[in-house]
Structure 1
Amino acid sequence: MSEDYFIPGAAAQSEFTEKKSRFISHLWPVASEEEARARIEEMRKTYYDARHNCWCYLLREGGVLRYSDDGEPQGTAGQPMLNVFQRRAISNVCCVVTRYFGGVLLGAGGLTRAYTRGASDVLAVAGRSRVCLWERAALCLPYGLFEQVRLLCDASGGIIEHTDYGADVTLDLLLPQGGRMALQDKLIELSAGTLTLEAVGEEYRGGPREELT
């Protein structure tokens, strides 16, 4: 069985200025090198007039990691950015930090701190999502119990992925591993045993966005 891991919670952007140099950070969850390369190329075209578009990406499958200083002194940009995601155990991530030079040299230490901040700031905006095993389930229920069931699902950490309104309400649910049995117990109590979750399958997927701690 695969282990849980973290990916960015969302695509994100952040910006700051350091000694007149403008640093613009972008971050995305990515699933392949092709997707990461496409994002990097997109930023190169968007910020074609910038002095540097430094980047890194890290993929869980195959342990792939790549980075570039894009003309900054060696070791002052791409590697420090990558270090941010490695320390936070974030996988399947691509980050580009664009620098518009402001005329003041930052020195190697200043550049390292600036690019580290660029990656850290944009990751804080993105948050993280835990990729783990989820259980799929289906549930048919009367309209009168819908709101109570919705609250029970929320309390169980579940997600209502689809709702079909017919003679009764049919829900397609995603529940964290072990959540189906826990929710079933609550449904039995709520309905005097008339509501039964139907197991549909399992899949690995990202959960709700979490703030970094």
Structure 2
Amino acid sequence: MESYQRPAANQVVEHEIEIKRSRFITLVARATNEQEAREFIDAARTRFPDARHHCSAYIYHVEDSNPVERSSDDGEPSGTAGKPMLDVVKGSGMLDICVVVVRYFGGIKLGAGGLVHAYSGAVSETVEKVRTVTRAKKELYTVELSHADAGKIEAELRGRGFDVVDTDYGAQVTYTVAVAPGGRAGLDAELAALSQGGAQSRKAGISWVE
């Protein structure tokens, strides 16, 4: 996997629906590991302590392995909440995402089919509101420039779509530039044109960049 979509950082998307007097409050946020997912689920329990159910589903990326997927019915009949929620999350194509649906029971039973429809519908409506970002595997290169040239060349590189991910100020200014795999030739061509051949890139590894 070279890239994927995930929720933007530091956002919690909240959406509520009512079905036969039961309230379904859906919360969605980024979670990149088990601990972050658990903390988000626990925070929902703390915020809505009197709700009957706090059902959850999450899926997060693991380097060089399959994504981790988990779901919980939290007291609802088996298979009526967590799995339908997880199916919607998987269908969204997003990773690093945690969803909690808080249910306040309204006194009218929905039946297994009704619960599946309610939980999947609640998540579908909320996921549509999530602002996403792309996380992609990029090649990193460092470029050393004089202080006199650095600002102008950085602006030109950014203007041409290059991602400057780090800056280090020393005797020279060292920029770390992220490019798509195989993109070094394009970077070197731009550097040669911008610096009259004075700047060259050095390979600095591979990293995930958002």
Q: TM-score range by the shorter chain?
A: 0.7 to 0.9
Shift of 1:122: 3.8
What are the within-5 Å matches in structure 2 for residues 1-213 of structure 1?
A: 3-10=1-8, 11-19=11-19, 20=21, 21-31=23-33, 33-60=34-61, 61=65, 63-103=67-107, 105-142=109-146, 143-144=148-149, 146-153=151-158, 155-158=160-163, 160-165=164-169, 168-203=172-207, 205-207=208-210
Which 4+ stretches in 1 moved above 6 angstroms?
A: none
Aligned residues: 202
CA RMSD of superposed structures (Å) = 2.9
Aligned AA (2:186): A
Question: Relative to 1, partners in 2 of residues 1:58 and 1:24: Cα closer, same or farther, differing over 3 Å?
Answer: closer
1:92 and 1:147 map into 2 onto residues whose CA distance is: 36
1:157 and 1:54 map into 2 onto residues whose CA distance is: 42
Please give the per-residue CA displacement for 1:116-135, whole angstroms capped at 9, x wherever unaligned.
23323443343444444211
1:104 and 1:155 map into 2 onto residues whose CA distance is: 59
Contact 2:24/2:101, CA 8 A, preserved across alignment: no
2:182 and 2:113 map into 1 onto residues whose CA distance is: 48
Shift of 1:6: 2.4
Shift of 1:78: 1.0
Question: Relative to 1, partners in 2 of residues 1:117 and 1:206: Cα closer, same or farther, differing over 3 Å?
Answer: farther
Contact 2:57/2:83, CA 8 A, preserved across alignment: yes
Work out the percentage of aligned pairs sharing the same amino acid: 33
Q: What are the ranges of 5 or more consecutive residues in structure 2 without an aligned counterpart?
A: none
Q: What are the ranges of 5 or more consecutive residues in structure 1 without an aligned counterpart?
A: 208-213
Aligned AA (1:43): A
Shift of 1:171: 1.7
Shift of 1:69: 1.8
TM score, norm. by length of structure 1: 0.76
Shift of 1:16: 2.1
Contact 1:8/1:126, CA 8 A, preserved across alignment: no
TM score, norm. by length of structure 2: 0.77
